[in-house]
Amino acid sequence: MAPATLKGPDRTETAPALEDPGARTPHESPHESPDDWSPTPEDLAAVKTTVARMRAAYPSVDASTVEATVEAAYDSFRQAKVRRYVPILAERRSRKVLTAGSTPDPVRDGP
């Protein structure tokens, strides 16, 4: 039985959780509205890298379309608490949209 589920005198101290490098920093409020969110330098670098990779993979697609698609994909994950996997998820979403040849639809594609 896990220590956290024991009650009474059998309960032991639990080890502190390991820090998640992709988690929000303590100064970020969990009640922060999506409009208050601003990308970190790491987020901006990841968007720039993904745009470059998508432009190379889809040379026939207009550069502004590629950039808008990647930015929309990243924007759909702006409320994600764990940021570690956002770049790969946004790249996959961008590839899906660019392969289909359509613009992203947040209702259809989801967050």
Per domain, the residue ranges of the chain are: 38-101
- Average pLDDT (7-26) is 52
Check whether 91 has a pLDDT greater than 80.
yes
Q: What is the reported pTM? A: 0.60
Which pLDDT score is estimated for 43? 87
Which of 2.40.160, 1.10.8, 1.10.10, 3.40.50 is the CATH number of 38-101? 1.10.8
The most confident of the ranges 4-8, 19-23, 40-44, 64-68 is 64-68
Mean residue pLDDT of the chain comes to 75
| Residue 68 scores a pLDDT above 70 | yes
pLDDT of residue 49: 96
- 21's CB contacts (< 8 A; 6+ apart) are 84
H or E element that contains 107 = helix 106-109
Burial (0-12, 13-18, 19+ Cβ within 10 Å), 46:
buried
